[in-house]
Amino acid sequence: MAACIVSFLDLDGVRHSVEVEAERLYEASVLGLCAFRKHELEPGGLTKLEVEVRSSVTHILTVTKVRDWLQRGVRTPKEAVARATFILSVLTRASI
For the chain, the domains span 2-93
Model pLDDT, residue 94: 62
pTM for the model stands at 0.71
Three-state SS annotation for 5-42: EEEEECCCCCEEEEEEEECCHHHHHHHHHHHHHHCCCC
pLDDT (average), residues 57-85: 90
Share of the chain above pLDDT 90, in %: 64
Kindly tell me if the per-residue pLDDT of 32 is higher than 90: yes
